[in-house]
Amino acid sequence: MLHALYLAFSHISAPVFRRAQGKALASGKDDPRRAGERWGKPTQERPTGPLIWFHAASVGETQSILPLITRLLAARPDANVLVTSATQTSADLLAQDLPTRALHQMVPYDTPRATRAFLHHWQPEAAIWVESELWPRMLREVDRARIPRMLINARVSDRTAKRWRKAPATVHTILSGFQTIHAQDSTTHDLIAEIGIPADRLSLTGALKRDKPPLPHDANTLTNLRAQVDGRALWCASSTHPGEDAVMLAAHKDHGGLLLLVPRHPNRGEEVTAEARAMGFDTAQRSTGDAITATTEVYVADTMGELGLWYRLAPISVIAGSFSDVGGHNPYEAIELGSAVLHGPHIGNFADIYAKLNAAGGAIQITNPTDLAQALRTVDPAALTAAAQGALKTEGGATDAALTAILDLLD
C-alpha cells in the first residue's frame, strides 16, 4: 500500500521537487547550468554502443566505484559508463576523476516525466545502484523499460533498518526487482534476507571502499606541510559534522600540539574556523591560503580531495560522523596510510568493520572529549595501526565480485 501510494503521489510531486531545487539553487548548493538534468534534460549526447548506468548518491559512493568503472571499461572496450549522483560536490570530483568513456549527469527527480525523459535519452543496457538510495518511481520506470538492474555495496544504516522493519512488504517490493544484490556487511545481508529476498540473488561481498587504491596526494605539498609542522605533535579529526567540531576542540584543549580539523563539507570551513577562534585557539584556514606557523594550534583543512595529505601527515586520526547520529565514516583510508584510528560510539554505517578492528586492538572507541584527550596522550599509534592493518588483511574482493556480476548481467 505504501509503495502504491508513493507511486501515485509521484505523478503530482513535481512542485515539491521544484521548491527543493529552488532552495538549493538559491543557497549555491546546485549549479544552475545543470538544473535541467534533474528533470531528465541531458547536457551531453548519448555515446554510441552499450551504456552501463551507475547511480551513486554522493561523494563516498561515487568515489567507491571508480576502480570498478575503470576495470569494467577495460573488460568491455565497446562500452561506455554513465554515472548519476545527487550532489554538486560529487559532480565536481567526478569531473576530475572519471576515466575516458565515462560521463556524469545529475540524477533526475523521482517523477514519471523526469525519469522517463532520462531513460528515453540514455537507454542504458544495465542499471547499477550503489549502496541504498532507492527511488521507487525510477525503479518502476527501469522495470517498465526492461532494463536489468542490480544493487552493489548495499548498506543499511540503523535508522533505515528500523524503517525497513516497519514496512517489510514495501521494501520487499522495491528490492525484488534487482536481479543481484551485493551486501557490504552482515547486518545488511541478514536484513535483506529477513525481508524475503532469495538467497540466490543475495551475496555478502564486503565493501567496495576496501578495494580502493590509497588516497592520492601531491608529494611536493606533503613535503612543504611536513616542513611547516616541523616535528610537532599533531592529530587529525576527519569528516566532522556540525556538533562534532566542539568535541574535537574540547579534547584538543589539553593537547598542546596541532589539530588538523577536516570538516566533511568544505563549505563549513568558515564557521568551523570561527568556532575554533572563539575557543581561543590560534587557527589557520587552508581555503584562505593560511600557512601553518609555529603558533598554529588548529588548522582547518576545508578543501576537497586532500584527505590523503592529512592521513599521511597525522599519526592519529579520529574518524568523525561517529560522535553524532550520522553513523560513522570509512576507516580504511586512514589505516591504509598509516594513521591510527579512534572513533565515537555511533558507527552503525560500518558496524562490522569497527567490531573487527576493536576486537583486534586496531581501533579505540571514544565517548567524550575527556576520554579523547586521554587517548591522544597515551595511545601507541604504531601498535594501533599494525593491529588494524593485520585485521584488514583478509578484507577485500567486493570489486571483483561486482565486476563479474555486471559482466554476467550484460551477457
Q: Which residues are identified as catalytic?
A: 61
CB 263 within 8 A of CB 326: no
Residue 154: strand, helix, or coil: strand
- Quick one: cell of 20? 527543493
Residue whose entry in the numeric block shows the C-alpha cell 544493487 = 151
- Quick one: cell of 218? 601531491
Alpha carbon of 16 to those of 10, 22, 111: distances in Å?
A: 10, 10, 10
DSSP for 359-411 reads HTTSEEE--SHHHHHHHHHH--HHHHHHHHHHHTTT---HHHHHHHHHHHHH-
> ∠ CA(295), CA(297), CA(301), 5° rounding?
120
CB 54 within 8 A of CB 69: yes
CB 371 within 8 A of CB 346: no
DSSP for 178-213 reads -SEEEESSHHHHHHHHHHT--GGGEEE---GGGGSP
- Residues 334, 311: Cα–Cα separation, whole Å: 5
Residue whose entry in the numeric block shows the C-alpha cell 588494524 = 388
Cα dihedral sign, 305-302-366-326 = negative
